[in-house]
Amino acid sequence: MVASHGFAEFLREQLAPLGRITTRRMFGKTGVFCDGLMFGMVADDTLYFRIDEQNRAALAEAESNPPLSYEKQGRAIDLAFWRAPERLLDEPDELVTWGQAALAAARRVAVKREPKRRA
């Protein structure tokens, strides 16, 4: 389920210190972007942040919740997005800190996906 209009607007306001925050419906969910780079997803008005090996320790509190995933051919596919703790919605400074860590992970993923340029 995609993000409600109110929840998407709340995220745009709260995460604005990171840059230009936009949202876009994707695959039945809502992608959360900063300056065009997806660092979060929303499913059923629940926020998930991008995770990788480098920010896993900083966002370890989120590990206790199931990651965002989908089922394909009877298997759960992990999307590398962890559920943000509900308490962050009441703690704007910490929400931005988590957003920064997720954005850094999204940048690292983007660099890995860039095609190698020929010299």
Domain ranges of the chain: 5-113
The β-bridge partners of 21 are 34
Per-residue model confidence (pLDDT) at position 26: 87
pLDDT of res. 18? 97
Residue-level pLDDT at 69: 65
CATH superfamily of 5-113: YgaC/TfoX-N like chaperone (3.30.1460.30)
pLDDT attached to residue 118: 52
**Regions of the chain short of the pLDDT cut 70:** 63-64, 66-67, 69-70, 77-78, 114-119
Q: What is residue 57's predicted lDDT score, i.e. its pLDDT?
A: 77
Q: What is the pLDDT of residue 81?
A: 87
> Which residues, other chains included, contact 47 with Cβ-Cβ below 8 Å and sequence gap of 6+?
11, 32, 40, 41, 83, 84, 88, 89
Classify each residue of 85-114 as buried b or exposed e, where b means 16 or more C-beta atoms within 10 Å of its C-beta.
beebeeeeeebbebbbbbbbbbeeeeeeee
